[in-house]
Structure 1
Amino acid sequence: MSDQAKVVTVPAPSAAAESPASPAAARPVRRPALSPSRAGDFKQCPLLYRFRAVDRLPEAPTKAQVRGTMVHAVLEELFGLPAGERVPERAKELIEPAWRRLLAERTELIDLFDGPDDPALAEWLDSATTLLDGYFGLEDPRRLEPEACELLVETELSSGVLLRGYIDRVDVAPTGEIRVVDYKTGAAPREIGEAKALFQMKFYALVLWRLRNVVPRQLRLMYLADRQALAYTPDEAELERFERTLEAIWQAILRAGRTGDFRPNPSRLCDYCDHKALCPAFGGTPPPYPGWPEPDPGVETALDRAD
């Protein structure tokens, strides 16, 4: 696909049916949905899915996660500027305002640093600059007019499974070909990490196919830390198989949700889990099962998508 893309109107995602909200609810109850992050959690460890989607246990964000969220915000804002202003110097000017907005939205992030004069904060902001340099080493945003950035997509499969997620960027070529772009602020992964990233991209490709009846021509992963880009071309048969995989995951989630039987799946990733102390595989005890969550356990935050 050429770097040059055209601007077209973003079709509104299909509206999801909503369950009746309780009178005490502060916001409407949304149907449970499957996001790429939550599907990945269940594949990795059903108990991790429960802790995040059902119990909604808090997790301390890492500096790397917050930096990833900030860089995504800067790139979104960059594409909102006239093409001629999408240069490295302008992007770097957007970093500190993006950080201030994150702090305003999540005041607990201030605990990541020892005040505004902490040398670690300056170093951390500089590391975001390095990631933006990596981005500009991969493409020239002045040559692009994305259809959408940070696009919420949602569709219901024929089986009734509701899929929902956010796509970093969607490009549409003059010929109508679609490219799905995802920014990764970490380094290009090894085999396990690459499979996880492709799972996420196939999820987006499936949703766009079902919404628009067009299979994306290219799924592009951009690893800003080491300036690598991976491209993948899906086809209909592959996405049909992937659709069946998501349906099987959702049915397994529903079965576990009815009984509360979310079993741990120990792996080397357990060392990075915030909830290891509560896991029976390590001698812990989960909190009492609260039942299937309302509202929506498919909610996916920007920190979920940060790498």
Structure 2
Amino acid sequence: MSANILDYFHGSNAGYVLELYERYMADPTAVDEQTAQQLAQLAPLIEQDTIANGHGHAPAIALPPSVVPDSTDLLDKAVAAANLAQAIREYGHLAANTNPIYPPPGDPSLLLETYGLTRADLQRLPPHLVGGPVCVGAANAEEAIQRLRDVYTGGAGYDYDHLTDPEERAWLREAAESHRFRQQIDPDGDNAIRLLKRLIKVEVLEKFLHKAFLGKKRFSIEGVDMLVPILDEIIISSAKFNVESVLLGMAHRGRLNVMAHVLNKLYSDILREFKDPLADT
């Protein structure tokens, strides 16, 4: 069965292996002895998927029959695409639309032209160069890169490159790129309706407290209304993993809404405790 060398190496690793292979084919002494032995073992596999051109044999990387680029140019594009994917993972949060007032600053490392790439270049490359869950089912590197941008430069940003534990970084990367953190909600589905009703309850209680206890010192949940649905999801998810009890510690902000809608404390009990003690005298 024919196999593609990039099926075994992903992301920047694929570009690096191809670069070593080009050096080895030009001059076997250009790489160290151990690497030369490994490349010699890989050579038959690589040559199963090669395309002949005027410069010898270059690895075939899922290209349309009408496109037979120079092997060196193809290698450069593959490395550039892998570097672009890595930059999106590291700096994509700088272009995420998380501020409704100011546009994101962005970063030059997220642009195709920084790497001398075009959309056509990415369309000729395989998705394996990008790696991760986003390349599964992608037609080419362009589609995989776009999926990666949707994850890191969309309505949320992920910045985990500062973590020193490689296992933690790998876990967060897989969780983010597989949409484990951002599951799609059907706007007309039951979950969306449930979320809307939850937020309405939060807002109604907040407005009532503001009118009924005008001037009373309290810590509003305004601006962090999603705290209640988020806590809902945490508790529901915990129950799925057989968690029997949850200890909740929080700041003052939004505590009345949390007590009412997460801890199910009666409105009457909350209002009685919240009222001025002198009001009953």
TM-score range, shorter chain: under 0.3
Structure number with the higher helix fraction is 2
Higher relative contact order (CA 8 A, sep 6+): 1
Structure number with the higher strand fraction is 1
TM-score (norm 2): 0.25
In our comparison, the structure showing a higher alpha carbon Rg is: 2
TM-score (norm 1): 0.24
